[in-house]
Amino acid sequence: MRRLLRDVAYEHLRDRIVFGEDPPGTLLREADLAEEIGVSKAPIREALARLSSEGLVERKAQSHTRVTELDTRITRDAVSLIQLLHTEAVSVARLHARDITRMRAANDRFIAAIRARDVRTALAADDDFHGVIVERADNLPLAETIERWSPQIRRLEARRFLGEHAEASIHRHLDLIDALTIGDVARAMRITSALFGSLHDEFPANNSH
């Protein structure tokens, strides 16, 4: 299926922000971005509007568009929301053996990427891993809310997957697979809550706002 140019532009710009290629404060000019990506200004404008709604860029009419600083309050709230939604997804998902197989395959890719310090691939594999559960939860509002707010926590996840806590994510994934394999939903929910809740550890210790 052919991808829309606005989605191509959005993913390109989102990844540049998440992985620090465009750090906070970077000015984003539509003409320059259109030339860089090879599209017209229209899909760039749509992509920037979406990134603005997700809190990754700020736009001032007739002035500028730039990458935002990490808003600790909003990001903390987003982490808590994503934590709750993924835990809820685990509670209602109807998983079959083939779904567990898909999760194992995604986690194998995740482990290889973490060990190679390939954070882009690690994030994609992590999305695939948890995406199996979200898909099998079969709850469109839940899935759309996760998609809406996940970009807000991507910079924290990228930091985690390159840091000292990356191995802990691997072990929690393996524990989650084990719990789901034997149908221990309560344990799977606890593991999922702890996994996403641990992203709060990525905030500076002296920043309580």
pLDDT in tens, 137-186: 999 999 999 998 988 888 888 888 887 788 899 999 999 999 999 999 99
Residue with tokens 């905030």: 203
Q: Is residue 58 classed as helix, strand or coil in its secondary structure?
A: strand
In sequence order, the 6+-apart residues with CB closer than 8 A to the CB of 90 are 133, 137, 180, 185, 188, 189, 192
Radius of gyration of the chain (CA): 18
User: Which helix (H) or strand (E) segment is 124 a member of?
Assistant: helix 119-137
pLDDT in tens, 64-118: 899 988 888 888 999 999 999 999 999 999 999 999 999 999 999 999 999 999 9
What the chain holds in terms of domains, given with CATH numbers, is 5-67 (1.10.10.10), 72-202 (1.20.120.530)
pTM: 0.83
